[in-house]
Structure 1
Amino acid sequence: MRIVSVRAWPVSFPVPESERVSLGIGTAVKRDAVVVKVVTESGLVGWGESHHGRAHGAIAHLVNTTLRALILGMDAGDCVGVWARIYRFQLASHGMGAATAMAMSGIDMALWDIRAKAVGWPLCRLLGGAVKPVPAYAGGVALGYQDPAALVEEVRPHVEAGYRAVKLRVGDTPARDIARIEAVRRAFGDDLVILTDANTGYALADARMAMPAMERLGVAWLEEPFPAHDHRAYAEAKSFARIPLAAGENHYTRFEFHRLIEDRVLSILQPDLSKCGGVTETMRIAHLASAWKLPIHPHSAMTGINQAASIHLLAAIDNGGYFEADISRNNLFRDRMVSTPWSIRPDGTVLPLEAAGIGVEVDEAFLEAHPAIEGPGYV
């Protein structure tokens, strides 16, 4: 299964003003993605997603030039060998750091797609798991800042669809954040699991004000109140309340997750298969976390490729948590670029796709019709 072709597409579409969501990092004005295709000499095709890193043209260019040249001719089934080669020449010394981790993630995901297709198994089975239910929460680029009553009405159809957990965006102001959480708790009762994500929008003073109220309201976790590198702030915030702290979507490779675990501050780890080094590295992170009895709740990237792969991984580890179901409106990367990646079931779970590999089909005409839109994705 020699690798004969590697190609990455940077793709974009604008978000209409009526559908823009404001988060702790700004208001989303477009959506970007990087889709990776790997082909073997026998014609097997694998698909993966590299996180765009808010510089999707640069990530795709890194795949199409340096990383492509490093791995052409290698065995597509040698995921560990391909990972190690990229690590040696790009991550271990003088490399592009986070950009390389994101770029290689899409390649690695595509290689696992090929491996599973080669044996005719769904990816979860090749990873050591089975097709079984995975709990999901309603999340993605959605449920942002709005009037509490409007937020309740946004949450309602997702609860009616079967979701038993939702993730609300915080990082606005502590008072407004708590008012929204209180409204959702009143509307849906104590049985609804409420998660929160600040998208790095809090200062320590904000967290000190918000976290005791979140604990009172039964919030199950506070995600990324601070930037990934601000280890001191996370350590200090742990004392503010008993609400679990979550992070990991902006940490790369097992080497960074090792510190997160050793610090004993986070209760929830959230690696992204399209950012941290791919399926290969997420499995390593999951095994490392398992030794510490820490759960893995992967952060989902933008397309149905990552989302379907994340479900497979969750069905194959012993410390798997929630699948982050992107319920944002009109996500073309989920609804049109690929075949259906997942469906919510009445009991609030999703199932891995049963087709060989990751299980989604990709429309290459869509990729060609949606070239990169330059500029920031959030303003």
Structure 2
Amino acid sequence: MRVASIEPVACSVGTDRERMSFLFVKVTTDDGQIGWGEACDSYGCSYSSVLATVVTDVFAPLLVGEDLVAVDPLIDRVRLFTRRRLGDSWVSAQARSAVEIALWDLLGRSTGRSISSMIGRVRDDVEVYASSAFLEEGPVEHHLAILTPLLDRGIRKVKVRTGPEWRADLDTLRDLRRALGDDVEVMVDASETYTLPTARMLAAALVEFDVQWIEEPLPQFERAGIEALVEHSPIPVAYGEHLFGLHEAIEAMRRRQLDVLQPDASTAGGISEARRMAEAAVSFGVRVVPHVCSGPVSLAANLHLAATVPSIRLIEYPPTLVDVWNTFGSGAAFGPETIVDGRLAIPATDGLGVAVDEAAAAAHPYEPPAARVAGTTGGLPDRFVGDR
């Protein structure tokens, strides 16, 4: 079985909050089999055309014509040929993730097995947490409207997001915490918004709400500030969706720059690399909760990641992306109705267990985001640059 072609498929689609973009990768073999992968840049894939160029111009020539017997040797080949020019992180890792996932999907389909059964499956379903909206978007009733359908399916862990006006956000969180009750755990995503002094004040204030972690309170490149925060934070600090591969994860854990590691198979370099990151966390006593915030292929890849790492007992579930999964995905369904007692089944069919609806992808061509900042509804260019 030889790789015959590698084709990026870039899409954009409107959601109930904003317009998002995605990048899928279609790998076809010489006998006509197809595998799908997906890249994520933390919130879909805003600059899909950039990653598509890397896939087409750089990665495809290195892989077309190669035998697909095992995935890791082919991805090692890509890294060997490109790391000194493109590096191992950011755009390179994100694009490589999509190709790697597609190769795993192909290998599974060719053998009639799921990806997780090929690697070694330790669970058939996994607990999910509801990854919800920015607190500034509305009063407690707004947030309960988003969360109630998931709470009705047995989810007992939810995450909300704070913004620059974090004191006002805490007023909303106070009402929401009271409405959720003591049997629901709460996490807070700070979306790289704050300076160290503000992050310290916010972390201290969140003790009142029994928050399980505060996620990315400082920009991910401010490693010294993150390290200082983690050292004295009264609540756990989570990072990982902007860590690219094993070496970056080990360095962050060695320097105690996180308490919760959040790898993403569609960001960090692929399923194998995310597994290495997760397995290394055990030695540091770090909790592992994968990041999920993209299309159906990305979600499926991270479910298979969770199925093969014993220490992963929880993954992210963003309800705002259900329509995206339904639009582009075929195969396994991931809507709220598929959640049972707060748990989501890991696909058991060949490969990923999902594929991309090519007609739907063609009907939603990619549109560059222009001035809009991904992750915001208003597109404010200074949304993630500090305090108020």
Match of residue 337 from structure 1: 328
**Could you list the runs of 5+ residues in structure 1 that have no partner in the other structure?**
21-28
Partner-residue secondary structure (3-state), 2:355: coil
1:236 to 228, 232, 238: 228
Partner-residue secondary structure (3-state), 2:23: strand
Contact 1:298–1:324 under 8 Å retained in 2:
yes
Q: For 1:346, give the aligned amino acid.
A: V
Match of residue 148 from structure 2: 156
Q: Aligned in 2, Cα 1:144/1:33: closer, same or farther, shift over 3 Å? A: farther
- Distance in 1, Cα, partners of 2:87 & 2:248: 16
Q: Aligned in 2, Cα 1:143/1:89: closer, same or farther, shift over 3 Å? A: farther
1:246 to 238, 248, 255: 238
Match of residue 39 from structure 2: 50
Superposed displacement of residue 293, structure 1: 3.0
1:115 to 107, 112, 116: 107
- Distance in 1, Cα, partners of 2:92 & 2:81: 10
Match of residue 208 from structure 2: 216
Match of residue 386 from structure 2: none
Contact 1:268–1:297 under 8 Å retained in 2:
yes
Contact 1:145–1:172 under 8 Å retained in 2:
no
- Distance in 2, Cα, partners of 1:55 & 1:169: 23
Question: Pairwise CA RMSD of aligned residues?
Answer: 2.0
Contact 1:9–1:60 under 8 Å retained in 2:
yes
Q: For 1:336, give the aligned amino acid.
A: T
TM-score w.r.t. structure 2 length?
0.89
TM-score w.r.t. structure 1 length?
0.91
| Structure 1 residue 8 corresponds to structure 2 residue 8 | yes
Contact 1:211–1:240 under 8 Å retained in 2:
no
Match of residue 195 from structure 2: 203
Partner-residue secondary structure (3-state), 1:161: coil
Match of residue 31 from structure 1: 20
Superposed displacement of residue 172, structure 1: 3.3
- Distance in 2, Cα, partners of 1:54 & 1:370: 14
Superposed displacement of residue 358, structure 1: 0.6
1:163-194 Cα deviation digits (max 9, x unpaired): 11111011232212222221121002111011
**Could you list the runs of 5+ residues in structure 2 that have no partner in the other structure?**
374-378, 380-388
Match of residue 83 from structure 2: 91
Match of residue 349 from structure 2: 355
Contact 1:254–1:281 under 8 Å retained in 2:
yes
Q: For 2:205, give the aligned amino acid.
A: A
Q: For 1:4, give the aligned amino acid.
A: A
Match of residue 71 from structure 2: 79
Superposed displacement of residue 89, structure 1: 1.8
Q: Aligned in 2, Cα 1:100/1:147: closer, same or farther, shift over 3 Å? A: same
Q: Aligned in 2, Cα 1:295/1:241: closer, same or farther, shift over 3 Å? A: closer
Contact 1:77–1:111 under 8 Å retained in 2:
no
1:49-76 Cα deviation digits (max 9, x unpaired): 0125531111011111211011111122
1:192-247 Cα deviation digits (max 9, x unpaired): 01111111112223212211221221111101111111111112222453211001
1:366 to 350, 360, 364: 360
| Structure 1 residue 41 corresponds to structure 2 residue 47 | no
Superposed displacement of residue 93, structure 1: 4.1
Contact 1:305–1:360 under 8 Å retained in 2:
yes
Q: For 1:335, give the aligned amino acid.
A: N
Q: Aligned in 2, Cα 1:372/1:166: closer, same or farther, shift over 3 Å? A: same
Contact 1:6–1:38 under 8 Å retained in 2:
yes
Superposed displacement of residue 262, structure 1: 0.7
Contact 2:122–2:310 under 8 Å retained in 1:
no
- Distance in 2, Cα, partners of 1:341 & 1:313: 17
- Distance in 1, Cα, partners of 2:213 & 2:120: 29
Q: Aligned in 2, Cα 1:133/1:14: closer, same or farther, shift over 3 Å? A: closer
Contact 1:105–1:276 under 8 Å retained in 2:
yes
Question: Superposed, which structure 2 residues align to 1:142-291 within 5 Å?
Answer: 145-291=137-283
Q: Tell me the percent identity.
A: 28
- Distance in 1, Cα, partners of 2:136 & 2:125: 28
1:14-61 Cα deviation digits (max 9, x unpaired): 34xxx32xxxxxxxx310100001111222211010125531111011
1:302-335 Cα deviation digits (max 9, x unpaired): 1011101211110110210322112006633x11
Partner-residue secondary structure (3-state), 2:238: strand
Contact 1:140–1:327 under 8 Å retained in 2:
yes
Q: For 1:5, give the aligned amino acid.
A: S
Superposed displacement of residue 143, structure 1: 6.5
- Distance in 2, Cα, partners of 1:241 & 1:285: 23
- Distance in 2, Cα, partners of 1:97 & 1:211: 29
Q: Aligned in 2, Cα 1:304/1:63: closer, same or farther, shift over 3 Å? A: same
